Amino acid sequence: VHEFGIEDRHALDAVASWISDRLSHPEKIASLGGVQHVSLPTVSATGIGIEATWEVLRDAILPTAFPTDHPRYLAFVGGAPTPAAVLADAALSAASVYGGSELEAGAVVAAERAAVRWLCDIVGYPQQAHGTFVSGGSMANLSALVAARHERVAAGRPMPSIIVAGAGAHASVAAAAAIMGCTLVQAGPRDGALRAADLAPVLNELDADDVVAVVASAGATNSGTVDALDEVAAACASHRIWLHVDAAYGGAALLVPASRPVFEGIDRADSVTIDPHKWLFTPFDCAAVLYRDPQVARAAHRQTADYLESAQDVGTDNPADYAVHLTRRARGLPVWASVVANGTDAYRRAVESCLSTARYAAERIAASPVLELVAEPQLSVVLFRRRGWTPTAHQQWSHDARSHGLALVTPTSFGGETVLRFCFVNPRTAPLDVDLVLASVERESRPGGSGG
């Protein structure tokens, strides 16, 4: 008898039906996130059994999270996975797939390659481009920057030590610089697009040989701003500097023909990050790092060891070879399953719907006598404030909206002021949800605010 046998399948069957119910009703929230004091069973010598454990998960633990696919989860960058993606994700765990090499993962690798290819096509990358899926945008950015540095060193140039990034770049770029022992030099405005004119004085000042890469954002997290990629790409090309484009959040909008012009030049980047777990309807955690020349990345990342040789003979482009990892979850499988199941038209429509909800919100805010639209949204982030409210009043409203189960909407800072921020990445979020939230901001009078 196996120690961990499942003589009783009841709990596992119950999970399957719970998954169906949960995905049918993402708007149901039992509780509102935040710190919760739940009394959990303790670890014991005998264990409590799979059924009892499932009951604790279902009734005590999972309901304490504010689900990111709730239609009024509008904070940070959420995620709303499709049923097909969840199905593939669950099956992936059950199938015990080691996603590092083709020797072990078989056609799972082929499916992940197809998902990588789909993303490369969206970016407009040539056929030779390739990449892999990692845990998140942070790992994707780090992996790309490590590849950029390796390219320099492999070409016999001195080890560079500076990463240049737009001031609106995600915090993970600063983290990557710190991990790599590099200095981060920021260029351009914090709350606006990076342009070649911002970059020129910085690059002219630096020795190009000492620059690992320039990082531009295609959808800054705070504001949704897309940097002037074509101009930045031209500046990088003239200095022979690697360009990494962080499209972790915004890359999904490439699916929408009307949005593509804003991304012009993204195909000139040496590497691109796009996170399917943000706006491409895949469960956490899943981010793609894509390389125009994958051999450079492979040379940087491929781990070699005597015991790995047999795995390396089979696949020439094992997914393990393209990022900072060896053992990995085959996170691209849910991406592939979801796109194959739903089709690219449904994907385009879903992203379009988020963009259109963002436009609706912006217009609704601009038309309100008590609200102020802080910036025209470029993608699906909408920033606004209640006229006359202090920072504390905005924070208090956000806290109350969460505690009353209305919405998760968090404040941020833009242009030095506290504002509220919506980020639309869930096609289930409807104009009615926006109305409900905005009506609450309009209605409330706050201490420290002008009331009304």
Ligand X SMILES: Cc1ncc(COP(=O)(O)O)c(C=O)c1O
Dig out the tokens for 384 from the structure: 């606004």
When the beta carbons of 33 and 63 are compared against ligand X, the nearer one is: 33
Listed residue (181, 188, 117) closest to 145, CA to CA: 181
The residue (of 256 and 287) whose beta carbon lies closer to ligand X is: 287
Burial 71-101 (b: 16+ CB within 10 A, else e): bbbbbbbbbbbbbbbbbbbeebeeeebbbbb
- What residues between 124 and 153 interact with ligand X by CB under 6 A? 136-138, 141
Could you say which DSSP state residue 130 is in?
E
224 binds ligand X (CB under 6 A): no
| Min dist. Cβ of residue 174 to ligand X (A) | 11
Q: Give the interface segment with ligand X, choosing from 38-46, 60-68, 119-127, 244-252 (CB under 6 A).
A: 244-252
Only one of the segments 223-231, 242-250, 360-368, 388-396 lies at the binding site for ligand X (rule: CB under 6 A); that segment is 242-250
C-alpha–C-alpha distance, residues 400 and 211, integer Å:
46
| In the complex, minimum distance from the CB of residue 77 to ligand X, in angstroms, rounded to a whole number | 4
Burial of 104 (0-12, 13-18, 19+ CB in 10 A): middle
Answer yes or no whether residue 245 interacts with ligand X by CB under 6 A. no
Q: List phi, psi (to 5°) of 315.
A: -100, 130
- Do residues 194 and 168 make contact, with C-beta atoms less than 8 angstroms apart? yes
**CB-nearer residue toward ligand X: 14 or 184:** 184
188 scored as a contact of ligand X (CB under 6 A): no
CB 421 within 8 A of CB 382: yes
Using the minimum distance from each CB to ligand X, give the nearer residue, 219 or 449: 219
- Cβ distance to ligand X smaller for residue 29 or 218: 218
Least CB distance to ligand X at residue 43 (A): 30
Residue 332 binds to ligand X (criterion: CB under 6 A): no
Residue 277 CB, nearest approach to ligand X (Å): 7
Q: How far apart are the first and last CA of the chain?
A: 69
| Under rule CB under 6 A, residue 198 binds ligand X | no
Measured CA distances, 18 to 23, 31, 95 (Å) = 9, 17, 20
Question: Residue 131 or 219: which CB sits closer to ligand X?
Answer: 219
Peptide linkage before 267 cis (omega within 30 of 0)? no
- Binding to ligand X in span 168-187, by CB under 6 A: 170, 172
- Quick note: the x/- pattern for ligand X over 420-439, rule CB under 6 A, is --------------------
Residue with tokens 């961990």: 4
Asked whether the CA dihedral 239, 140, 149, 191 is positive or negative, the reply is positive
Nearer to ligand X, 108 or 248 (CB): 248
In the chain, the amino acid numbered 81 is P
**To the nearest whole angstrom, how small is the minimum distance from the Cβ of residue 394 to ligand X?**
21
Q: Report the residue number, 392 or 413, with the smaller CB distance to ligand X.
A: 413
Beta-carbon contacts of residue 93 (< 8 Å; ≥ 6 apart):
none
Considering only 162, 228, 287, 335, the residue that binds ligand X (CB under 6 A) is 287
Length of the chain equals: 452
Nearer to ligand X, 137 or 188 (CB): 137
Beta strands in 327-449 (DSSP E): 371-373, 381-386, 410-414, 417-423
Q: Order the strands of the 371-373 sheet from edge to edge.
A: 371-373, 381-386, 417-423, 410-414
Among 187, 199, 232, 248, binds ligand X (CB under 6 A): 248
Query: Closest distance between ligand X and the C-beta of residue 423, in Å?
Result: 9
CB of 220 to ligand X, least distance (A): 6
Q: How many residues in the shown chain lie near ligand X by CB under 6 A? A: 15
Interface with ligand X, residue 275, by CB under 6 A: yes
Footprint of ligand X (CB under 6 A): 77, 136-138, 141, 170, 172, 217, 219, 221, 246, 248-249, 275, 287
